[in-house]
């Protein structure tokens, strides 16, 4: 279950103890009935505003980090006290995208979550806002919740908000109607989704909830989007909010994180043959299939794999650093991205493209690459 900042705070700002207690009541009862629960809770930044004398969510990263620093402690203290009424222990788990896109880190996060559950405590997950810089940020907790649901092999993802479901337009506009069921992408055609609501505390609004629902349902997990006050109905499968039916099957473990949570530290341009191999996932990427290297990535970093036109066809974890790859590119059978660390992206191009007349190479620093990538530049020549 994921709960948004707007459902945990008072109109004046600060944590609303009554709302936290109401949510905890539902979760504690659900657990007592035999269902394992993982809570992804936003609210760290919102909870830290008033104690730091801030009247609204700051725009700059440094003050958001400071607010999260103060607020996360208060948030977890509140959950700890509230769950203690039922004799339930709470375990805090803070994640950055970087913690889970790599296979070894992914297994580590998985082990922690499973062990907390096995020992009878309830994991409360949030993004590690205090240290998450732009490059390693999930961006929003809706997406984080979809990825955590996949990590723990959840049977259901419940997204709680201050709105009672997905509407076909702005819910405040007269005539907007709630969708009861979404069976797939086609059901979303013509739906207007927009940014955060009036609380001024939420991050992504409905856009990120619909995106999170897509990630989860494509990976085989049904989603209910409902109002926080209807949490009990949502968990019990009663008619409330919007139900997103599952559309796909479980993806390989860390690949979903690699696709949706990681930010690339560089890019690697491929020959037509290598593009076919990675797009169809028929083998690893070898150095022989690489024609150009961008960014100063290190071994173990996520990189984008590009076709000759510069379009991204896949993402992978490079087992070589950029300098080593530059030495070997075009002439070695060393593995650059092992098969297990390769995820083709939707719409990946598998059609043949002409080989380049010649290859030009320029190494960029990681910082240069990140700047260019965030500015939308993609050529890198």
Ligand X SMILES: N[C@@H](CCC(=O)OP(=O)(O)O)C(=O)O
Label the pairing between strands 242-244 and 181-182: parallel
CB of 202 to ligand ADP, least distance (A): 2
Considering only residues 51 to 70 of the shown chain, the ones binding ligand X according to CB under 6 A are 68
Return the number of the residue (46 or 251) whose C-beta is nearest ligand X. 46
Between 128 and 167, how does the x/- string for binding to ligand ADP read (CB under 6 A)? ---------------------------------xxx--xx
Cα dihedral 182, 187, 189, 190 in deg (nearest 10):
-70
Handedness of CA 144, 150, 152, 157 (dihedral sign): positive
Return the number of the residue (67 or 113) whose C-beta is nearest ligand X. 67
Q: Collect all residues with Cβ–Cβ distance below 8 Å to 214 and sequence separation of at least 6.
A: 185
Residue 53 burial class via C-beta count within 10 angstroms: exposed 0-12, middle 13-18, buried 19 and up: exposed
At which residue do the structure tokens 């700002």 appear?
13
2 annotated ligand binder? yes
Q: Please report whether residue 204 would count as binding ligand X according to CB under 6 A.
A: yes
Return the number of the residue (139 or 248) whose C-beta is nearest ligand ADP. 139
Q: Residue 379: count other Cβ atoms within 10 Å of its Cβ.
A: 8
Q: Please report whether residue 203 would count as binding ligand X according to CB under 6 A.
A: yes
Between 113 and 152, how does the x/- string for binding to ligand X read (CB under 6 A)? -------------xx-x----------xx-----------
Q: Please report whether residue 71 would count as binding ligand ADP according to CB under 6 A.
A: no
Q: Please report whether residue 181 would count as binding ligand ADP according to CB under 6 A.
A: no
Handedness of CA 181, 206, 370, 150 (dihedral sign): negative
Q: How many residues bind ligand ADP (CB under 6 A)?
A: 23
- Residue 378 corresponds to which tokens in the numbers above? 């993609």
Return the number of the residue (206 or 336) whose C-beta is nearest ligand X. 206
Known binding site: residues? 2, 42, 129, 141, 161-162, 203-209
Known binding site for ATP: residues? 2, 161-162, 203-209
Which residues form the interface with ligand ADP (CB under 6 A)? Answer: 4-7, 161-163, 166-167, 169-171, 192-194, 196-197, 199, 202-206
Which residues form the interface with ligand X (CB under 6 A)? Answer: 4-6, 42-46, 68, 126-127, 129, 140-141, 202-204
């Amino acid at each position: 279950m994921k709960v948004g900042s707007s459902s945990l705070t008072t109109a004046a700002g600060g944590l609303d103890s009554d709302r936290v207690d109401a949510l905890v009541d539902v979760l504690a009862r659900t657990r007592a009935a035999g269902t394992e629960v993982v809570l992804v809770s936003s609210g760290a930044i919102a909870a830290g505003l008033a104690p730091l004398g801030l009247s609204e969510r700051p725009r700059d990263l440094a003050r958001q980090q400071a607010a999260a620093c103060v607020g996360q402690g208060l948030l977890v203290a509140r959950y700890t006290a509230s769950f203690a009424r039922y004799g339930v222990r709470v375990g805090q788990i803070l994640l950055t995208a970087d913690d889970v896109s790599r296979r070894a880190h992914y297994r580590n996060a998985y082990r922690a979550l499973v062990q907390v559950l096995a020992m009878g405590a309830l994991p409360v997950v949030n993004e590690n806002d205090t240290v998450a810089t732009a490059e390693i940020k999930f961006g929003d907790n809706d997406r984080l919740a979809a990825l955590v649901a996949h990590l723990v092999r959840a049977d259901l993802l419940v997204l709680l908000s201050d709105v009672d479901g997905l509407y076909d337009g702005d819910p405040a506009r007269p005539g907007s109607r709630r969708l009861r069921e979404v069976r797939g992408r086609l059901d979303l055609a013509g739906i207007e989704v927009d940014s955060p609501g009036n609380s001024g505390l939420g991050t992504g609004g409905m856009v990120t909830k619909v995106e999170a629902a897509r990630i989860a349902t494509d990976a085989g997990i049904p989603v209910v989007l409902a109002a926080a006050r209807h949490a009990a109905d949502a968990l019990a499968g009663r008619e409330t909010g919007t139900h997103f039916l599952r559309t796909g099957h479980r993806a390989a473990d860390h690949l979903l994180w690699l696709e949706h949570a990681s930010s690339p530290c560089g890019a690697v341009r491929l020959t037509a043959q290598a593009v076919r191999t990675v797009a169809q996932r028929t083998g690893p990427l070898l150095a022989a299939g690489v024609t150009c290297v961008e960014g100063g990535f290190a071994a173990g970093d996520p990189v984008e794999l590009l076709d000759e036109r510069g379009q991204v066809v896949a993402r992978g974890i490079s087992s070589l650093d950029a300098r080593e790859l530059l030495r070997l590119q075009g002439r070695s059978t060393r593995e650059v991205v092992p098969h297990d660390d390769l995820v083709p992206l939707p719409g990946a191009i598998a059609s043949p493209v002409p080989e380049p007349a010649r290859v030009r190479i320029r190494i960029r620093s990681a910082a240069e690459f990140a700047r260019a990538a965030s500015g939308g530049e993609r050529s890198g020549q």
